[in-house]
Amino acid sequence: MKDPSALAAGAHTVSSSLDPMAAAEYAPAMDLPDLKDDPHLKLVRPLVEAYQAFWLADNRHIRSLKLTPSQFDVIATLGDTDGMTCSELSARTLVTKGTLTGVLDRLVAKGLIRRDTVDSDRRRIHVRLTEKGDGVFRKTYAAHIAFLKPFFEEAMTPKEIDDARRLLLKLRDSFKRGSA
């Protein structure tokens, strides 16, 4: 809290809603732990750096295939299926609901997908690859898997990949439970 004598002397104050440091005035005092040996924090930076390195290589390759990452995600998800509703597609991709409509619009414009209303419920839209879209799926999905595979093979054994997957899913689930 501000010193009352400073207020009386005409010092300017900043509303606590605008000043992030003002919130610190009300936080309980805590001793700063020795963080250099914290096993949890030792994981954060390598985890973020691995994600960033993956994201950069992944995005560059997908864009070299003349698709955006969101378009590729939709095409890869629809590949080898009879299609699915927009709700199912949203749940199975990493594309946010707010972005999905625009992505689908652009894929329709490219002739890669089609959208049809579901006869039993005209509010539901069924999305499927067109013949052209299936050709793009077959070409780009195989190429992208072939591009990514050496990175994993160079870094990990199949057992380490299984262990890493299990641990990453466990960590993801912990964060999801904590944010609910």
More confident call, 12 vs 89? 89
Q: Does some domain include residue 147? A: yes
CA within 13 Å, CB half, 153: 6
Predicted confidence at residue 180, as pLDDT, reads: 55
Domain that holds residue 172: 34-179
Report how far apart the first and last C-alpha atoms of the chain are (Å, whole number).
Answer: 32
Number of H helices, E strands in the chain: 8, 3
Domain-embedded: residue 56: yes
Specify the range with the lowest mean pLDDT, choosing from 3-7, 39-43, 55-59, 172-176: 3-7
Q: Which CATH number does the domain housing residue 77 bear?
A: 1.10.10.10
The residue that leads in pLDDT, 139 or 9, is: 139
Write the single-letter amino acid at 162: D
* 86-118 tens-digit pLDDT: 999 999 999 988 899 999 999 999 999 999 988
> In 65-157, where does DSSP find H-type helix?
69-78, 86-92, 97-109, 131-155
Confirm if 68 and 100 have CB atoms less than 8 A apart: no
133 falls within a domain: yes
Top pLDDT among 121 and 128 is at 128
Mean pLDDT of the chain: 86
Which tokens go with 131? 């013949």
Considering only CA atoms, which of 69, 113, 114 is closest in space to residue 94? 69
Is there a contact between 134 and 76 (Cβ–Cβ < 8 Å)?
no
Confidence of residue 36 (pLDDT cuts 50, 70, 90): confident
Q: What local confidence, expressed as pLDDT, does residue 22 receive?
A: 64
Determine, yes or no, domain membership for 128: yes
Structural domain count, the chain: 1
pLDDT at 9 over 80: no
- Least confident among 43-52, 69-78, 129-138, 170-179: 170-179
Query: Residue 11: its pLDDT value, please?
Result: 43
Strand arrangement of the beta sheet that strand 113-118 belongs to? 84-85, 121-129, 113-118
29 in a structural domain: no
pLDDT tens digits along 126-170 = 999 999 999 999 999 999 999 999 999 999 999 999 999 999 999
Provide the percentage of residues in the chain whose pLDDT is more than 90.
66
Residue 163 belongs to a domain? yes
Residue closest to 141 by CA, chosen among 84, 82, 67? 67
pLDDT of residue 41: 84
